[in-house]
Structure 1
């Protein structure tokens, strides 16, 4: 029997997130595998994978803040806003080299904080039931709606100038749903020279760090976090007795315990360290929002 758990994988470039899920299914011998947030094929870094009953936790992980290290090339625009697309425009070398560090800093400042962002057209967002990238590849014009995102950090770590291009190595902390490709595109547009992403690596998803992840070639020997160990990293631990655990699993409320919840949800853990499920407030009571399969630690 396959034990449920959360697996951290360091995705290499060239593979889709679905490729990683497929390999995890083979390695663990189960079809019940999912992930908490797609990475583009070009991108590398942290994928949070749920196995068996732990897939139920992915809903509570997918919305976590992310950290990315990226390289933005100013001076060229592409069809996909990254290096996988065709170059659609090149700014002159004089125009590119006329962009000052101060102008770059000002452009980044505008893209920091709470912003409205139009995702890249070549994205996994569904438009009338079909992925936007499928519509683009079919030759359709796709105009996605802007969405509110939060970019809490957008720092330049290094700057390199070459003929017709400025490469910026950056680190970005952002809310779920933020497109780093769109940041590159919008920064280039604001500077009048165009821009796209040439490298992207995700280093954090919420509390999870890519330094703790396994490589794609080490899946057969990979260990996982138990559902309880993973859940209490994402949210508050909420200890319950064996009787309370049984009540939660049966859909009953725990009376007069809502004041103990610090956030919207918490991880209910029984005396054996088993994750009972995710609980939420209901008036002055606490009730299950999601129950885990029994005997899941």
Structure 2
């Protein structure tokens, strides 16, 4: 059986997440590679890559909480809500106090309903939102519930951008899956009446995976290529999910994808036998049913 596991990559700026996957396929010598949680080309930082059977876990790992460091520029709005898009307004921001900025951030913390950026990969009637937006269509996306558990300003810098007075804020954000940091920048600028967009974004954590264990950007391009070490499935399960150890009879049933007559501590729950991750199961009444079986 081919090697399976998770590779944490520090994605370089300018690379798409798909390009990282393509490079990992060559480094690892397998086509069965995917990623959890796309990063925009401008962004850097933690990209979780699944290899082999671990690709079946990626949808669940993508739903975990995430942390970011970012720079928000107040005083200018862009089409994409980040520095990659053309400037659509430049109201400037020279007289804002720190207190006013903090007051505008406060409603963006906690459980909120966020409208995603229009230039995003969300599908509308089968077509990506960004394709419609770039054709000049009026794109309206529905708000969705997200949780922003931390949104703090670390530093403020007053600057000039092509004659427009701007304020650059270095911030840190901890949030739930599905949160758009670009949208936080947009909404903060809108609340302050100045406009806002991201000029830098770095993802520092996805679930239990952080930059300290990430393959550095040069690890993707080193010549000759070096095969990176994967994080094993059992360790991934213990770090990111509630889990149970099974007996031999239960492990046999899981191998056939059968329901189990027992309660689970979480949705999903990782099931292990003799130190090996067998599957993810979810509660279904008074029994447990499979959502991803990795053996059998």
TM-score by length of 2: 0.93
Are residues 1:287 and 2:289 paired?
yes
Give deviations 1:210-231, integer Å, cap 9, x for gaps.
2210024325331111112111
**Structure-2 residue corresponding to 1:209:** 210
Are residues 1:104 and 2:98 paired?
no
**Structure-1 residue corresponding to 2:116:** 119
Are residues 1:229 and 2:235 paired?
yes
Match of 1:267 among 263, 270, 279: 270
Are residues 1:47 and 2:56 paired?
no
Task: Tell me if the contact between 2:28 and 2:228 (Cα under 8 Å) persists in the aligned partners.
Answer: no
Secondary structure of residue in 1 paired with 2:257: coil
Q: Note the C-alpha offset of 1:144.
A: 1.3
Task: Tell me if the contact between 1:248 and 1:287 (Cα under 8 Å) persists in the aligned partners.
Answer: no
Gap runs ≥5 in structure 2: 221-225
Give deviations 1:140-180, integer Å, cap 9, x for gaps.
33221111111110000001112301110000011111100
Distance (Å, rounded) in 2 between the aligned partners of 1:174 and 1:108: 14
- How many equivalent residue pairs? 287
Distance (Å, rounded) in 2 between the aligned partners of 1:191 and 1:291: 49
Distance (Å, rounded) in 2 between the aligned partners of 1:83 and 1:122: 13
**Structure-2 residue corresponding to 1:57:** 57
Are residues 1:240 and 2:246 paired?
yes
Give deviations 1:160-208, integer Å, cap 9, x for gaps.
1123011100000111111001100110111011111000000011111
Q: Note the C-alpha offset of 1:279.
A: 2.0
**Structure-2 residue corresponding to 1:252:** 258
Q: Note the C-alpha offset of 1:136.
A: 2.1
Secondary structure of residue in 1 paired with 2:23: helix
**Structure-1 residue corresponding to 2:144:** 147
Gap runs ≥5 in structure 1: none
Distance (Å, rounded) in 2 between the aligned partners of 1:24 and 1:174: 27
Secondary structure of residue in 2 paired with 1:177: coil
Secondary structure of residue in 2 paired with 1:97: coil
Displaced runs of 4+ in structure 1, greater than 4 A? none
Task: Tell me if the contact between 2:28 and 2:227 (Cα under 8 Å) persists in the aligned partners.
Answer: no
Q: Note the C-alpha offset of 1:34.
A: 1.0
Q: CA RMSD in A?
A: 1.5
Distance (Å, rounded) in 2 between the aligned partners of 1:115 and 1:48: 26
Are residues 1:167 and 2:165 paired?
no
Distance (Å, rounded) in 1 between the aligned partners of 2:65 and 2:121: 19
Distance (Å, rounded) in 2 between the aligned partners of 1:29 and 1:139: 42
Distance 1:78 1:282, change over 3 A: closer
Are residues 1:74 and 2:77 paired?
no
